[in-house]
Amino acid sequence: MPELPAASSPPTAPPRPLRPLSRVEVADIAVRLFSEHGYEATSTVDIAEAAGVSRSTFFRQFRSKDDVIFADHDELAVLIDTYFAAPHGDPWLAVCEAASMVFERFRERLEIVRIRDRVVRDTPVLRDRETIMAIRYERMFASYLRSTVPDVPPLTAIRFAAAVTATHNFVLRRLIRAPDNVGPFSLAAELAEVRRLFHPDAAVPGPEARPVGDVVVAVFPAATDPTEVARAIEERLRAQARFI
């Protein structure tokens, strides 16, 4: 009697993750799909399948495909809110430290942050969303200053928050995009300069403080043309610099 053919085995389902993936982990998977296949060509179904989650689970975590790429910003916003809720002796410094927390988180995830940066630059709708994220940080910083330093003019708080955010973004982009032979700016030093400009009486300890050089005293007749005074001082400073 001829042998009956063996029954074919059912297709093996992809292995399920041992634990539910976090929003940031799902977002990282999406970023890599966007990089490999293009943002427009990648669907929410593609992301859900690659992450091993159902579409319903995906939409419980994210409102849309646009939201998935910036998931870590939501976590950072919660982290900053928690940080600001604690007492701080110097609110101006606290804002700078909050910006540094964001920077360090991105530096820890530099590989995926670089991939996301390329995706965002290639996708106009994501560039717009990134701008909105930057404004979100500005508003958090300004709101904190206005609540903790009530005597400060509101516009000063807004300007300081904008300067801190812009400085952070510049240094971060330099870190992400600069070639290996270009050293990144020191965020601590640049934020210390922002504090000095807006809050000149603040003590800025450590190596980021700018050294004070020799003092040049210039005496001119009262009728001297201001342009001539400026030129003479500039020549004196240049001559001094050649001998340092």
108-123 pLDDT tens trace: 999 999 999 999 999 9
pLDDT at 239 over 60: no
Q: What is the mean pLDDT of residues 197-206?
A: 61
Q: What is the pLDDT of residue 133?
A: 86
Q: Is residue 217 over pLDDT 70?
A: no
Band (pLDDT 50/70/90 cuts) for residue 74 is confident
144 and 88 housed in the same domain: yes
Q: Which domain holds residue 40?
A: 23-68
State which of 68, 84, 101 marks the end of a domain.
Answer: 68
Task: Provide the percentage of residues in the chain whose pLDDT is more than 70.
Answer: 70
Residue 219 lies in a domain: no
Contact yes or no for 18/45 (Cβ under 8 A):
no
Q: Same structural domain for residues 82 and 60?
A: no
Q: Do residues 60 and 141 share a domain?
A: no
Give a yes or no: residue 39 inside a domain.
yes
**Is 225 inside a domain boundary?**
no
pLDDT at 22: 86
Residue 104 lies in a domain: yes
Q: Does residue 227 lie within any of the structural domains?
A: no
**What is the per-residue pLDDT for 13?**
42
CATH number for position 56: 1.10.10.60
pLDDT at 67: 85
CATH of the domain at 155: 1.10.357
**7 in a domain, yes or no?**
no
Q: Is residue 1 included in any domain, yes or no?
A: no
Based on the fold, state whether residues 89 and 189 are members of the same structural domain.
yes
Residues 49 and 153 placed together within one structural domain of the fold: no
Do 154 and 139 belong together in one domain?
Answer: yes
Are 115 and 150 contained in the same domain? yes
Q: Among residues 180, 198, 216, which one ends one of the domains? A: 198
Instruction: Please tell me which of 146-150, 179-183, 210-214, 227-231 the model is most confident about, judged by mean pLDDT.
Output: 146-150
Same domain, 120 and 50: no
Kindly state whether residues 157 and 191 are assigned to the same domain: yes
| Residue 30 and residue 62 in one domain | yes
Has residue 4 been placed in a domain?
no
Q: What is the pLDDT of residue 218?
A: 55
Q: What is the pLDDT of residue 20?
A: 75
Q: Are residues 94 and 165 in the same domain?
A: yes
Task: Please give the pLDDT value at position 69.
Answer: 87
Last residue of a domain, one of 198, 222, 237: 198
For residues 59 and 87, membership in a common domain is answered with no
| Tally of domains in the chain | 2
